[in-house]
Structures are given as C-alpha cells and as structure tokens.
A and B are shown apart, each in its own frame.
Chain A
Amino acid sequence: MGFEQFEIQLIASVVAAACAIPGVFLVLRSMAMMSDAISHAILLGIVLAFFVIPDISSPLLIIGAALSGVLTVSLVELLNKTRLVKEDASIGLVFPVLFSIGVILIARYAWNVHLDVHAVLLGELAFAPFDRLIIFGNDIGPKSLYVMGTILIINLFFISLFYKEIKIATFDAGLAAALGFSPGLIHYGLMSLVSVTAVGAFDAVGSILVVALMIAPPAAAYLLTDNLTKMILISVVLGVISSISGFWLAIFLDANIAGAMATMAGVLFVLVFLFAPDRGIIAIARRRSHQRWEFAGKMLAIHLLNHEGTQDEERESQIQHLEENLRWKESFARRVVHYSANNGFLLVNDDRLVLTTRGREYAKESIVDN
C-alpha cells in the first residue's frame, strides 16, 4: 500500500467520522433531508465566498460557505411558518433555487478555476493527497486532512460540551424550552455544524457523499443500539468502515472513490437492516413466526384443558378434530402438535392428545395472563 493510498483512507475516515456525529442528530430529529438541502445549497456559498477568497481550503471560505447552509435552514423555516407549504415541500423549494444559482455562477464566471459542478457533487478524493499543507517549507501532509481534522474536532467539542442540551432539545423540545435551553438556538447550532462539515467535506468527497455519510451510518446505528452515546460511536465506526472498504472497492473496480464509499455506506446499512439482532427485518420475522407458534400452542393447550374430563374429551382431543374445531389446516395442526410436544406440553397417544402436568399449568397461566 502506497503512502498516498494510506493518506486517502485516512482523509476518508476523518470525513466519515466528522459527518457521522452531527448526522446522528439529523436522523433522530427526522431531518435527514435537511442534510441533502444543506449540502447542495452550500455550492452557492462556496462560489460566492470563492469570489472573495480564492482559496478553497481557507477557513474563512468554509465559514462563509457554511452561512449559506444556515441560510437554507432559515429560509425553509420561514416558508414553513407561513403554513402555506409543508416542511418537505419547503426543503424541496429552497435548496434547488440556491443550488441552481450556484451552478449558473460557476458556469458563467468560474469556469477557468478549480471549481466545477462535477467536482463539487462527487469530489475527487484521489487528488486530495496532492494538495499539501506547506508550513515554513515543510510538507506536513495533505491540506484536506487538516481541514477535516479540524472540523472533526469542532464537532466533537460541541457535541460533548452541549451533549445534555442537544439531547433534551432533540427528545423533548417543549421541556427544553421550559427549562431555559432554547431549542431554536440548539437547532441552529446543530445546523451550523452540519453546514461547516458539509463545506469542509465537499472538496474531498463531494456533496452527495456527504449526505450518504451523514445519514446511512447513523440510520444503521439506530437499529443497533438503544443508547445515544453508543449510537454516536457506532455511527463513527460504521462510517470509517464504509470509507476504508469503499476505498478498496474503488481500487478493485477502478471507479470513483467517493462513489464507492457511498455505495459501501449503503451496503452496510442494508446488512444492518437485514441482520440487526433485535430490530433487523430477519429478527422481526423470526420473532413473529415464533409468536405465531407460541400463540397456537397456547390455544391448543387451552382447548385441551377446557375439554379435559368432559364427555366429548375423546372426540375433541383427536388430531384430526383440530381441523374442524379450530379450523386449522392439517399440516399446520401437525406442526403445532409437534411444537407443543417438543415443549413438553402434551403427549400423543394414537392420535389422541393428552396434556402433561406442565401443559396444564401452561394453559392455566395463559388464561390468567389474558
């Protein structure tokens, strides 16, 4: 592995970690689409700021461009407040306008500089190691590593400093306001972090991948844990895994690195979605099927208990009879009998079902429970 390859993976990992942290709160606040809006709208900010400070990785340019992200959020809210437009429609109305102005400005005035729409959308991670940070004649590493490293530290700093405030404002904005923690202030603080992160990351990975890294790892982490701190940590880990595996996928396919990383973020989410131990689709399906057998087993035990010692016990406890009485299909009836016998609830004597002591207890408990 060449040193450049290592540097690319390092940059990608830092970007992923920086994106995942504010992304957790976007997901929890049902604001995933806001990341899409912000990451597009900052194009206008970048172009405008670029006219003033023609240096893509200047901190001033990043802050200037991030303001357009915050502007997007406030325009969406303004539109939303009129109650004439719903929130998702407001998002869909605001950011294409800002984005398209940015596109026109680039096409008209900035075509001869290092700033084109393609690069903004997809980034070009492969070139990131060539843009070095030189201090006093010493090459201390790729510029974007320092830019994103700084943004990662800013994100970590704010989230850990205001962890409690962000948590309460996300969970219960009403109580947060009643206790004196302005949810509006916290909202805009978070949106500023999202904007700064998106601006910083766009140069390395492009604005589309920013969305993938902000949303996919937290959405997956949400299915894996019930603890907010763990959710943040898992999101970071999943983001880093997406980055590194995406890098190697890109090498293997000889494709765009950012695209491969976004693909891996999606693949990881699908894997979690399917196989998450508690909330994955498969776990849910398994639980449902288990509940179905359990319920049928209970039904059978109660049925047998009800007819125990009665005149028609003989008839009611025939396996064949279950079809008529409980209207079960034969194959289903046999499987339920098999399930109950396996659990020691009943014995089968020549097609006659007899409750065991344990089965009797089970039936009685089931009746009381309901």
Chain B
Amino acid sequence: MHLDKVGSLNKGDLDMSENAIEVEDLTVAYQEKPVLWDIDLTVPEGVLMAIVGPNGAGKTTLIKAILNLVKTAAGQIKIYGKTSSDQKRLVGYVPQRGSVDWDFPTSVKDVVMMGRYGALGWIRRPGKEEQKMALSALDKVGMLQYAERQISQLSGGQQQRVFLARALVQDAQVYLMDEPFQGVDATTERAIVSLLQELRKSGKTVVVVHHDLQTVPEYFDWTALLNVRLIASGPVQEVFTEENLRLTYGGRVSFLKHNGENGVSNIGQRTG
C-alpha cells in the first residue's frame, strides 16, 4: 500500500516550516457518517496540487475543513504552522461557482472587491485602492471590460474568472479552489491553468479540487487522491499511478491504460 509512503513523507517534512498546509488526523463526520476519515496530508509550499477522488469522496469538505468552515470531529489543521483562524489573511478561497446567487444585484467589480474585505476588517469600506486592485485582477483574468457589468449577465466561464480575480485580490499565500474548471470552455480552462501556474511560479501554493483525471499530469505537479480516506499524496509522477487510482475509484478505472476518448476523464467528469 502507498499509505506507508505517504506517512513517511509527512513525518519527513513536518520539521521544516516550509509546509503551506499540514493536516493531521482529520476526521469530519455528518451525523456519525464519516466524510473524511483520519486524513494526514502535507502540502509543501509552492506546489500546484489537484485533489481528485470520486463523488462523495470529501474533496469539498477537505477544502472547507482547511478553511475552518466545517466542524471537525477530530484532528488539526495548520497553515504555515498556525491554525487557519490565525492565518485567515494567508488563505484565498474560490468556492464552487454554483454556491452563490448570480442574480444578486451587484457588479463584477464589486464582487472582486469582496476579496479585499478580509484585509479591510469590520466596518471599513473599500475605497480607491481596492478598486485599483480589483481592476488589475480583472485585467489578469481577461475580464477588465466586464468590470461594470452586472454579474447576472455573465456566462459560466466568466463567472469562474470573476471568482479567480476575487481570490487574486486577496493576495494570499495559499489558494484553495473548488472546481475552478467546472462548466468552463476550453479557452477559459487554458487561461485558468496558466494563471494557476503563474501563481505557483511566484511561490504561492495552490490546491484545486479537480475532476478531469486526464489533465492531472499536464496541469499539476502535486496531487492528493482522496476517497473518504487519503489514498496517496505527493508528486504527480510518483503517486498518480494506475494502482492508486484503482484504490481511489474502485474497479471503475481498470481501463485507464487505453484512456482514449472514453477513458478515465469521463468517469472523472461524471462524478460531480
């Protein structure tokens, strides 16, 4: 089993304080039913990591647990050595696109400025500085001309870019993204990938819930395979193996080898 390898990887890195995220013995349960079972996961600084796993594997829950948004039954989570409530400023969050009401009466620029709210703290209002940051982030994701647009008028891919821009203005060290590629076209997907890789190059750590197994080796350098338990985590070349995938997805990935048009990627996409 690869679990041993994962365990040793954790312990080896723990002493060095350059780990962006350290998850130890994390268990999350919704009424006695475990969603995450005893997760030990270390995410080194500066990696671009995909969290993959079947439907109901707890991928979103893991991200929410790291953000301290769900109640944990056991375990602890450290971001640069401290609890996430101490490190709120260090973490940028891109929730699932469908988690908000896109008919909310507000503009693209206003949504992006929300990324600055954390730095502003209570009561203080966003001003010129925040507007400037929002516009430059929108420029980075190619959405500058939509700044004054109503959010209800955006396509799925544009909504996703707005969420990315909002995360960028958070100016975080660690980014947690829940399905940023969901429902976007190929052009947007490429644009998002190059943005994520740019973030990694500038020393940020990016953790992405990802569904398309096919593109994992191409887009990411680090991965965690999750199915309630952590099956494996580490560099993609080492842990993204057929055996680990089978352990993660069950027998369903037996046709990984001839992964043509209807290979694993299809399974990945179907598991919403």
Contact = CB atoms under 8 A, between A and B. Distances in A.
Contact of B69 (A28, A171, A177): A177
Please indicate which of the listed interface residues A161, A175, A226 has the most CB atoms of chain B within 10 Å of its own CB. Answer: A175
Interface stretch (B42-50, B99-107, B214-222): B99-107
B122 A165 contact: yes
Interface in A235-285: none
Interface string B117-153: 1101011111000000000000000000000001010
A179 B150 contact: no
Contacts of A168: 114, 117
Interface in B185-244: none
A168 B110 CA distance: 10
B268 interface: no
Interface in B79-97: 85, 88, 91, 93, 95
Given A172-B99, A174-B93, A181-B117, A222 B105 contact: yes
Q: Give chain A's interface secondary structure class.
A: helix
Interface residues of B, number: 30
Given A165-B122, A178-B69, A179-B118, A225 B105 contact: yes
Given A228-B105, A231-B105, A171 B100 contact: yes
Contacts of B107: 226-227
A28 B105 CA distance: 9
Interface string B156-198: 0000000000100000000000000000000000000000000
A316 B74 CA distance: 74
A65 B104 CA distance: 32
A164 B119 CA distance: 13
Contact of A178 (B88, B126, B150, B152): B88
Contact of B88 (A164, A167, A179): A179
B123 A162 contact: yes
Nearest to B122: A165
A218 to B, nearest CB: 10
A157 to B, nearest CB: 12
A227 to B, nearest CB: 6
Interface in A152-186: 161-165, 167-168, 170-172, 174-181
Interface of A: 28, 83, 161-165, 167-168, 170-172, 174-181, 222, 225-228, 230-231
30 contacts: A163-B125, A164-B126, A165-B117, A165-B122, A165-B123, A167-B106, A168-B114, A168-B117, A170-B104, A171-B104, A171-B106, A171-B111, A172-B95, A174-B67, A174-B69, A174-B95, A175-B114, A176-B117, A177-B69, A178-B68, A178-B88, A178-B91, A178-B93, A178-B118, A179-B117, A180-B85, A181-B117, A226-B106, A227-B107, A228-B104
